[in-house]
A = this chain, B = another copy of it.
Amino acid sequence: MTELNAAWVAAEAKALSNWGRWGPDDEIGCWNLVTPQKVVEAAACVRRGHVFSLSLPFGPSGPSQDPIPGRGNAIHLMQMTGTDVAAGVQDRAFPGSGKFADDWVVMNLSTSTQWDGFCHVFHEGFAYNGVPSTAVSSWGARRNSITRLKDRVATRGVLLDIPRLHGVDWCEPGIAIQPEDLDAAARAQDVDVRSGDAVLVRTGQLAQVASVGDWRGYAGTGKAPGLGVRCGRWLAEREVAAVATDTWGLEVFPYETPDTIAPLHQIILTHCGITIGEMFDLEALAADCAEDGVYEFLLVAPVLPLDGAVNTPVNPQAIK
């Protein structure tokens, strides 16, 4: 069997690369495949009018209670409160019957449910489409910012529920999902994966977190189930626009490659131009899909259009 390592990643990345495919200035990758016709097709997936938020909480109840360095849960602070109102604090500034509350957030953009931008991961010093890493400075991303997708992230979504396929509550941490699992899930769930789709792969780790009642180890500090690096080819061949899981980092952890981290990111995000979603809450959606047997839906998951941003928090809406 082929050894999975940085050299393999480089070869696979090169073989699957979309650099240049949509011109030298392209910054939206496989979202080019989401044509107006595709959007119409996606909207046609709305049959029962049920809406699912796929977002985990942001803030103190969020998943980053045990974060890697530099991350952590969002900090929510108030600018004006209703307790101030009750105390008469606003009476001088806002005379009359109307008073106000207002608030702030401080957050790492990867604190909870998120899309990774095409400038989040560099492979050998380059981001998607050959953009040099130096395009991403402390002044933000001059190219490949996630904000380029501000009117793009509406397409057909497909759920592949791996634990249900295998009849378990969740995939155990450290288990790598393989292309064969993806195929089997699609077959079992009678759903096909098409060009321009967003594929959501459920590992069930959130069910495990719920069973423990604690986020500890979830946000990057513990083992996790996830996609194996060989899934890159599967996704690239199907020309998906995005792929997401219910785990912190999409990929199985520990990584399958001993000499480089986040290998699947390097292949699909950096070379294929496939957007990666992380910490998607797929529990309620998966239960519904299991019930009605329909694993496709309209996915609308807009980015926060922040100047030069790398990643974005997102509250994805799956509409069936």
**Chain B residues within 8 Å of A95, by CB:** 259-260
Task: Assess the B70–A79 pair: CB atoms within 8 A.
Answer: yes
* Chain B: CB-nearest residue to A45: B43
**Chain B residues within 8 Å of A43, by CB:** 43-44, 46, 49, 298, 319
Name the interface residues of A28-58: CB closer than 8 Å to any CB of B: 35-40, 43-44, 46-53, 55, 57-58
Chain B CB within 8 A of A101 CB: yes
Task: Assess the B98–A266 pair: CB atoms within 8 A.
Answer: yes
* Chain B: CB-nearest residue to A263: B98
**Segment touching B, from A118-126, A162-170, A187-195:** A118-126
State how many copies of this chain the complex holds: 4
Expressed in whole angstroms, the minimum distance between the Cβ of A22 and any Cβ of chain B is: 18
Residue of A40, A102, A124, A154 ringed by the most chain B CB atoms within 10 A:
A102
Chain B CB within 8 A of A137 CB: yes
Task: Assess the B137–A70 pair: CB atoms within 8 A.
Answer: no
* Chain B: CB-nearest residue to A302: B315
21 A–B pairs (Cβ distance < 8 Å), ordered by A: A43-B319, A59-B306, A61-B307, A62-B307, A78-B138, A83-B138, A86-B125, A89-B137, A95-B260, A96-B260, A97-B124, A98-B123, A98-B261, A98-B266, A101-B121, A101-B136, A101-B141, A104-B106, A105-B107, A154-B319, A304-B315
